[in-house]
Amino acid sequence: MAQPVIGLLGGGQLGRMLCEAAGPLGIQIAVLDAENCPAKQANHNDLHVTGSFKDPAKIKELAARCDFLTVEIEHVDTEILEEIATKGFEAQDANGKTIKKTIPVHPSWKTIRLIQDKYQQKEYFIQKGIPVAKQMAIQSDSDDARKASLQEAAVKFGLPFMLKGSKGSYDGRGNFKIRSPQDFEVAAKEMGNQPLYAEKWVPFEMELAVMVMRTEDDDGKLIKASPYPVVETIHEDSICTKVFFPPRKVSDDVKARAQKVACDVVSNLWGRGVFAVEMFLLKDGHILVNEVAPRPHNSGHYTIEAVPQMSQYKAQLCSILNTVPDDLALVPRVPSSLMVNILGGAQPTSHDRLVDLTRTMGSSSLDVYLHQYGKESKPGRKIGHITAVGYSSIQRLEQLSRPLITACDEIRA
Ligand code: ATP
Ligand code: MG
Ligand code: MG
C-alpha cells in the first residue's frame, strides 16, 4: 500500500535523522529547505521544495504535494499552517493543476504558535497548574520604560535573574544573565528591540528532560501521552553538550515525578508527535518546567540506539500516521547511554580528534555510534553527535567514555 507523504518544514539535523528513520519504513518525506540541506543529503526524491520554510508560498507548494505537514523547528509561520489545516489553500499539484485542499499539521499550529512565544508558553503552563519559574514581561516601548521594567524585575526576583527574548531563541541565543544593574544597558543593547521577559534565576541541582510521544485521534482527542525515560542534560554556556541516561544520582521518585510533569504538559498541548520537556530539578526535589520543544530534540538523540524499537524519530512518524502499537513500551534496551554533541571549534578541524576517537573506541562493555550532520563547522555550531551505549551502570559508562568527554570539552576550551 502506498504510504502517505509527510512534508517537513526545515531540513537540518533533526530533519535528516527523521529521514533516516523514514527510509526503512517506506515513508516518503518532502523537505522544504535549501538545496543541499542536511536532510536532503540523506534523502533523495522528487518531492523536495527548495526555499525557505518561512516563505508562505513555498509552504503551500510543499503542502500541495503532501498528505501531512510537520516541522523540525518551531520558528515557522503559523498563520499559513493554520490556513492549510483549517480553511484550505489553493495550490498547484505536481502536474500543474490547481487544487484546493486542507491537510493535517502535526503538531497542531496552535501548539507551535503557543510554544514560539516562550513567555506565553509559560503563562499557559501556569494556568494549567504546571510548575515553572516566576516570570514577568519587560516593557520595551522606550529605553526608559525598559530600564524601569528591568529595575522592577530586579526588585521582584533579586539578582541575578535571566532576561530572555520571547521569540526566536535557541541554544541560549536570546538569553542574558543580569548580574547587576550595570548590565541593564548592555543587555538592552545586545537584545535589541525584541519582546523580552525576565525569569527568576533557578539555582538548579540538575537539568532533566523527558521526551513524550503524543497520539491523538482524527477528531483531535488525546489518545495517550507516553513518556520516554528521564535524562540528565548538561548545558554549558546555555548550549546542550551532553545527555546522560539514566540521570546520575537521581532517585526513582524524582524520575517518576519528572515523567508525570512532562506528560501533564504534553497532555495540555495539541496535535500528534514527539515533544521535549526541559526541566530544572531543585535541591529540595521540586521540579520546574523550563520550556517545551514541539518536535524531536537533542535530549532524545540517544533513543536511536537506546530505544531502537521506537526512536524519537520513528515516534514522530508513527504518531503522525497513527500507526503506534497499543502496547508499545518506550523502554530502553540498554542500561545506560551517553550522548555527546560535536560542536564546531575555533578551527574547522578542531573536532576531528573527537570524531577519530569513535573509530577506535568500543568494547564488550560499550558501543559507540557516530552521527555527522553534513554541516559546515562553525564555532559553537552543532555539527554532529556521538552516542555511547553501555552494558552496565551510567557511572561505569561515564568512566569508559572519558576520552569522548575530555575531547568534547577540549574543543570548547
Ligand atoms: P534551547 O536550545 O533549549 O531551545 P533556549 O535558547 O530556548 O534553548 P533556554 O532553554 O531558555 O534557552 O535556556 C538555556 C539554558 O540556560 C537552560 O538549559 C539552563 O541551563 C539555562 N537557564 C535558562 N533559564 C534559566 C533560569 N531561569 N535560571 C537558571 N538557568 C537558566
Ligand atoms: Mg528553546
Ligand atoms: Mg532550552
2, pLDDT greater than 80: no
- Name the helix (H) or strand (E) containing 268: none
CA of 385 to the centre of ligand 3 (A): 18
- Tens digits of per-residue pLDDT, 222-234? 999 999 999 999 9
CA of 241 to the centre of ligand 1 (A): 13
Adjacent-strand bridge partners of 213:
226, 274
For the segment 269-288, the average pLDDT, to the nearest whole number, is: 98
CA of 285 to the centre of ligand 1 (A): 19
For the segment 319-339, the average pLDDT, to the nearest whole number, is: 97
The Cα–Cα gap between 85 and 139 comes to 34
- Strands of 382-390's sheet, edge to edge? 287-293, 273-281, 206-216, 222-236, 239-245, 336-343, 382-390, 366-372
Cβ(117) – ligand 1 distance below 6 Å: no
How far the first Cα of the chain sits from its last, in Å, is 53
User: Which residue has the least CA distance to atom 12 on ligand 1?
Assistant: 172
CA of 68 to the centre of ligand 3 (A): 27
> Which of 122, 156, 175, 179 most suits a substitution to test ligand 1, by most atoms within 8 Å of the C-beta?
175
For the segment 159-187, the average pLDDT, to the nearest whole number, is: 93
Helix, strand, coil distribution of the chain in percent, nearest 5: 35, 30, 40
Question: What pLDDT shows up at residue 230?
Answer: 98
For the segment 145-149, the average pLDDT, to the nearest whole number, is: 93
406, pLDDT greater than 90: yes
413, pLDDT greater than 90: no
Question: What pLDDT shows up at residue 172?
Answer: 84
CA of 207 to the centre of ligand 2 (A): 14
Question: What pLDDT shows up at residue 90?
Answer: 87
93, pLDDT greater than 70: no
Q: Give the ligand at the shortest distance from the Cα of 298.
A: 1
- Tens digits of per-residue pLDDT, 352-400? 999 999 999 999 999 999 999 999 999 999 999 999 999 999 999 999 9
Q: Give the ligand at the shortest distance from the Cα of 176.
A: 1
For the segment 157-169, the average pLDDT, to the nearest whole number, is: 95
Question: What pLDDT shows up at residue 141?
Answer: 85
Among 68-82, 170-184, 314-328, which is the least confidently predicted range?
Answer: 170-184
Cβ(168) – ligand 1 distance below 6 Å: no
Cβ(170) – ligand 1 distance below 6 Å: yes
Question: What pLDDT shows up at residue 160?
Answer: 98
192, pLDDT greater than 90: no
As a whole number, the mean pLDDT across the chain is 96
Residue 97 vs residue 286, higher pLDDT: 286
Using 50, 70 and 90 to split pLDDT, how confident is the model at 163?
very high
312, pLDDT greater than 90: yes
Using 50, 70 and 90 to split pLDDT, how confident is the model at 91?
confident
Is residue 210 classed as helix, strand or coil in its secondary structure?
strand
Question: What pLDDT shows up at residue 188?
Answer: 86
Q: The whole model's pTM is what?
A: 0.97
Cβ(205) – ligand 1 distance below 6 Å: no
- Tens digits of per-residue pLDDT, 122-138? 999 999 999 999 999 99
The Cα–Cα gap between 324 and 107 comes to 16
Cβ(174) – ligand 1 distance below 6 Å: yes
Cβ(247) – ligand 1 distance below 6 Å: no
267, pLDDT greater than 80: yes
For the segment 115-121, the average pLDDT, to the nearest whole number, is: 97
Rounded to a whole number, what is the largest CA-CA distance in the chain?
65
